[in-house]
Amino acid sequence: MKIIFFFVLILLSALIFLKITNQNQAELDQKITPTVNEKPKVVIGNATIFVDVAKTTEDQQKGLSGRESLQQNEGMLFLFEDDTYQGFWMKDMLIPIDIIWIKDGRIIYIHNNVNPQPGVPDEKLTLYAPPVAIDRVLEVNAGFSERNGIEVGDSVDISALN
């Protein structure tokens, strides 16, 4: 009888320890790792995209380079102080993307399904540029624009940026 009681006591202690450990880890993860929904958002039609914002030259140069994946409704928004014909390339990119060119809150052009160019020397990388000066660029997963019916002329709401 003492052996059974001792065994049950050890089992209950182990279960309580595991529950506390898992609960503490979940709380810690929640504090450390921001969820996608906590990021600033861009809305185009019925599509909401949670974005990392590239404001500085350094952020813009790095962009999504080196990222292995994006969540389905995640992207990067590039903000420019002045209208620009800023070109984009796929240097060190690991994932295909759509490049959405924005001017005065409207989409003016979309480069769909732009693929990485691994092993291509910098001077031979394709340069993607807008047909007119823009003030914003949004990068999202390749095919996102088509899947969500996003088209040239659509309004882009960035009022929810923090």
What string of H, E and C letters represents the secondary structure of 24-88?
HHHHHHHHHCCCHHHCCEEEECCEEEEEEEECCHHHHHHCCCCCCCCCCCEEEEEEEEEEECCCE
- 96 contacts 116 by C-beta, under 8 angstroms: yes
- Largest Cα separation within the chain, whole Å, is 84
In the prediction, which pLDDT does 10 show? 66
pLDDT tens digits in sequence order for the chain, 162 residues long:
666 655 555 655 666 665 665 555 545 444 444 455 689 999 999 999 999 999 888 888 888 888 899 999 999 999 999 999 999 999 999 999 999 999 999 999 999 999 999 999 999 999 999 999 999 999 999 999 999 999 999 999 998 775
pLDDT score of 57: 87
Contact predicate 52/106, CB 8 Å: no
Distance of alpha carbon 13 from alpha carbon 135, whole angstroms: 60
> Which residues partner with 42 through β-bridges?
49
pLDDT for res 8 = 56
CATH numeric code, 41-157:
2.60.120.1140
Residue-level pLDDT at 116: 95
**pLDDT (0 to 100) of residue 123:** 95
Report the alpha-carbon distance of residue 118 to residue 106 in Å, rounded: 32
pTM for this structure? 0.75
